[in-house]
Amino acid sequence: MTQGAARKPNRRGEGTRLRADIFAAAAALIEETGSEQDVTLREIARRVGIAAPSIYEHFPSREAIVDAVLDAGFAELRAAVEQALASQADPWARLRAGCAAYLNFAAQRPGQYRILFGRRLHLTGRLAAAGDETFGLLVTALRDCAAAGQCATDDPTADATVIWLALHGYATLHPSLPGFAWPSLPAVLDRILSRYAPAGPAGHTP
Amino acid sequence: MTQGAARKPNRRGEGTRLRADIFAAAAALIEETGSEQDVTLREIARRVGIAAPSIYEHFPSREAIVDAVLDAGFAELRAAVEQALASQADPWARLRAGCAAYLNFAAQRPGQYRILFGRRLHLTGRLAAAGDETFGLLVTALRDCAAAGQCATDDPTADATVIWLALHGYATLHPSLPGFAWPSLPAVLDRILSRYAPAGPAGHTP
DNA sequence: TGTACATCAGTGAACGCGCGTTCACTGATGTAC
DNA sequence: TGTACATCAGTGAACGCGCGTTCACTGATGTAC
């Protein structure tokens, strides 16, 4: 409006849109290939329909694009779990909803999930902290169940770890081995959690 | 000894030895990188100390080397589990020993384990059959425990699946996230299995 | 309203690299006589 | 025992490829006057 100090008109709105297109193409490629290395700068450019060097207006390197997608994916996973937890009042229903959200994310984005938790060195720095916080959500949910008398655990952290291991196992193996006779997602989830339920359908004592 | 029809003297014994050296270098590279794509034919040749084309005397392609290593790794994993099962008479001890052998293999060869179960299309054909048989060992061990009254399960296949998911989760996450506060391997194994024990240390009912 | 100009998103050509694979070869090894 | 020869494991040079990145550029857009 004012006529002084007008800079960066950001013409045609393309600046933002192209960046978003590049990001989306990279996310799709990550999902399709399930491999960081197969997400090449030139293939991204091909899909967006631009010349490869045009990407450098918006990202400093190929690696930065992949990192941006994975950072967003991690944030999305965490947000999905938090939203699921907030949607339920009953502690046991909260625990189950949080775990279901975790498995649903992995089922919808198997390639992205694989890379997120498959990289060797990626989860350092702020991502490591974010991961610890997400795991903390599970520990808290389990502890709340125990406090409400809805859950059998003598060590919520250790049992949350085992639950997470099983969730992660399903998240990665299910897409990898389509030939295996998998139970459905809810059936697997019930069976993972039933051992911690006070009177779960499968939690007998002989 | 006889002088007729003497062919393929296989001179200097190098024919066999070089093949073994190539195989060993590829196995070491797979373990170090944890990635199929990073195992390049030229890097293998560099490590063995030969010219790259020399490899073609012993393997038809780069991919064939990787496949040979992974096939051997899979066979080794299965043999380790079978040997552990055979070493114990008591059904519960058998189950635990088999699972421990599985986790020990993964702990000793994390990179190889990751690739073995991380590939999308690899486990087809005879490898899929071998995988199903290995999983069958776990189902049988669990069923034997139940038959001996040492184990609480209403569905050995489903519970074996959950146990396998947790084993696989530990096998892949533990090397990936060295910063996480992991319990020790035996502690994790005990906690995974304790829920199925008739009077396990953590298997209370409130 | 019309013209000269600055801006800057996107381009095309080129670079050096490591890769898998091919090909004609070399040179030590063991055999035939 | 000595010599000519066949064998064949391993080599060096070269190929075509796709990659990430650089660089000087172009050409439409919006602004100043």
Of the partner residues B123, B152, B169, the one whose CB lies closest to the CB of residue A165 = B169
Distance between the alpha carbon (CA) of B37 and the C1' atom of D18, Å: 15
Instruction: With beta carbons under 8 A apart, name residues in chain B contacting A35.
Output: 37
| Interface check A147 vs B, CB under 8 A | no
Predicted model pTM:
0.90
Contact check, Cβ <8 Å, A114/B117 = no
| Interface check A40 vs B, CB under 8 A | no
| Cβ of A53 near strand C (distance < 7 A) | yes
- Answer whether B152's CB lies under 8 Å from A206's CB: yes
**Residue B148 corresponds to which amino acid?**
A
Among A55-64, B129-138, B148-157, the range scoring the smallest mean pLDDT is B129-138
- Answer whether A137's CB lies under 8 Å from A81's CB: yes
And the tokens for A34?
A: 């399930």
Say whether B90 sits in a helix, a strand or coil: coil
pLDDT at B63 over 50: yes
Total residue length of chain A: 206
Q: Average pLDDT over chain A, rounded to whole?
A: 88
Q: Which tens digits make up the pLDDT trace of A134-167?
A: 999 999 999 999 999 999 899 999 999 999 999 9
Of the partner residues B117, B166, B183, the one whose CB lies closest to the CB of residue A176 = B117
Per-residue confidence (pLDDT) for residue A6, from 0 to 100: 30
Per-residue confidence (pLDDT) for residue B123, from 0 to 100: 56
CA distance B148 to B97: 17
- Which residue of chain B has the CA closest to A131? B180
Chain B nearest-CA distance from A202, in A, is 7
And the tokens for B25?
A: 């270098």
Q: Which tens digits make up the pLDDT trace of B87-146?
A: 999 999 999 999 999 999 999 999 999 999 987 655 566 667 777 889 999 999 999 999
And the tokens for A82?
A: 């938090």
In sequence order, the 6+-apart residues with CB closer than 8 A to the CB of B155 are A191, A202
| Interface check B186 vs A, CB under 8 A | no
pLDDT at B199 over 70: no
Instruction: With beta carbons under 8 A apart, name residues in chain A contacting B39.
Output: none
